Structure 1
Amino acid sequence: MISYNQIDDMLKPVGFCLRGGFTDKLTTLLVGNVGSDIWKLFGQQYDDWMEPDPLDHWTRDHLVRLADELDCKVVFPFDGPAYAPFQKWAMKADCVFPSPLGPLIHPVYGLWHAYRGAFVFEHPIKGIPPKPKLTSPCERCQKKPCLKTCPVGAFTVDGYNVPDCMDYLGRHLDSDCMTLGCLARRACPVGEKFSYHPAHGQFHMDRFLRSAPLKP
């Protein structure tokens, strides 16, 4: 029977890693990335840039092939509606917590990680690591720089003002938010060494801006 660590090793050549797992009736292993490991590998081939969502297409291509090899099902967070409950799964399997910005924060990786898919097995997988018993780094953060850095104050304790954020980005395509990645996210001191490469951050901001509904 294949183990958790063996599956993790199979993911490394494409920059992915396992991000924890759990067994109910089925066994679910979360697949994601930490830092910009995937950015070093994504986009090398012409077909990687398949529109409308190149990174999702690239992710699906690699994980479906690996799921076939593992004889398991693969689920993606971008398939829907209805969407699979990835945040719920992540908090069950991995050491992550809600952050003031919305994305789940990890005590080591900070906000510089993502969940790209999940392998679902009909049988147990040996070696799934227990979830570490740590607390949210946000509980110890008094200054909350993430809530003070956005140039339009889009992030507050009351939530995220998406229209103001998108309006600013659309009018300032050469801003640091667009060329480096979200400044509020980059202001978080947790996991700084895992922060996305500027080109990686710019890619996500560009895709985020493209998701804005067209104005009549």
Structure 2
Amino acid sequence: MDYETLQSAAAPYHLTIVGAFHPDPEDGAPEGTETLVLFAPAEPTFWPHFKKSPEYSDGAADPMNRWSTRALSAIAEETRATPLFPFGGPPYLPFISWALKSGSIHASPVTLLVHNDQGLMISFRGALALRERISLSPPRLTPCLLCPAPCETACPVNALSEHGYDTAACHAYLDTPAGTDCLTRGCKARRACPISQDFSRNPEQSAYHMRSFHP
């Protein structure tokens, strides 16, 4: 097993590796895990692929999570790994701490996770726990080091800051006519990130996630 084999196994599902690390016992990975690999949508092709799935159109609850379970489980079977998911709790698996240990995902100035290539649009569909210790790329510096941080001033109600996420203020704003822009195009703070702007995520996908967050 190697990094390229895992990437190839994920490609038919329009997923991509966004981080990986060799866990220590205190990281909460399954016993015997030598490498933990995080997966996210590969843009711009993920959303059209997902919309063609039976989960998207069958009318049952949680289509994205059900699709993720099916896709990651298939990849796990092909690669002899254990699939792990950021949903299904409580208790929930520590995806945030796993992401921060990956070397390619960091804490942004507004505390949201930021990925070197996906910016603040990073989202996880799942992870694989491997019993093999595969070679990984060296850690990368956070892209926020030389960034003017437009994310800090983009939110109209200052719901995101270095102190955390004021979800009550966010939900209240989304209930107003002015909040329609965030509901239909995605969070303004996430969109303000220069890397996010270069990351071709379909606004329809962002609207889908916003509806899940704010029904």
Which one is further off, 183-192 or 57-66?
183-192
SS at match of 2:51: coil
Identical columns (%) = 33
The 1-side partners of 2:21 and 2:72 are apart by: 19
- CA RMSD in angstroms comes to 2.2
The 2-side partners of 1:174 and 1:46 are apart by: 31
User: 1:20 maps to what in 2?
Assistant: 19
| Contact 1:19–1:94, Cα closer than 8 Å, also in 2 | no
Question: TM-score, normalised to structure 1's length?
Answer: 0.84
User: 1:74 maps to what in 2?
Assistant: 83
Deviations 1:109-131 (A, max 9, x none): 21122222111122334xx3223
How far off is 1:157 after superposition? 3.2
Question: TM-score, normalised to structure 2's length?
Answer: 0.84
Question: After superposition, where does 1:168-179 map in structure 2 within 5 Å?
Answer: 168-172=173-177, 175-179=180-184
The 2-side partners of 1:81 and 1:87 are apart by: 15
CA 1:145 to 1:118, structure 2 compared with 1: closer, same or farther past 3 Å? same
Q: Which of 206, 211, 214 is the aligned partner of 1:209?
A: 214
Q: Does 1:137 align with 2:143?
A: yes
Q: Does 1:155 align with 2:160?
A: yes
Question: After superposition, where does 1:178-189 map in structure 2 within 5 Å?
Answer: 178-189=183-194
Figure out how many residues of one structure are paired with residues of the other and give that number: 205
| Contact 2:19–2:37, Cα closer than 8 Å, also in 1 | yes
Letter of the 2:12 counterpart: P
Q: Which of 160, 164, 172 is the aligned partner of 2:169?
A: 164
SS at match of 1:114: coil
Structure 2 unmatched runs, 5+: 24-31
User: 1:43 maps to what in 2?
Assistant: 51
Q: Which of 123, 138, 143 is the aligned partner of 2:132?
A: 123
| Contact 1:16–1:37, Cα closer than 8 Å, also in 2 | no
Q: Does 1:105 align with 2:114?
A: yes
How far off is 1:69 after superposition? 2.5
SS at match of 1:201: helix
SS at match of 1:153: coil
The 2-side partners of 1:191 and 1:156 are apart by: 18
Deviations 1:33-87 (A, max 9, x none): 2444321210213433454321111111111122123222111011322211112
| Contact 2:117–2:195, Cα closer than 8 Å, also in 1 | yes
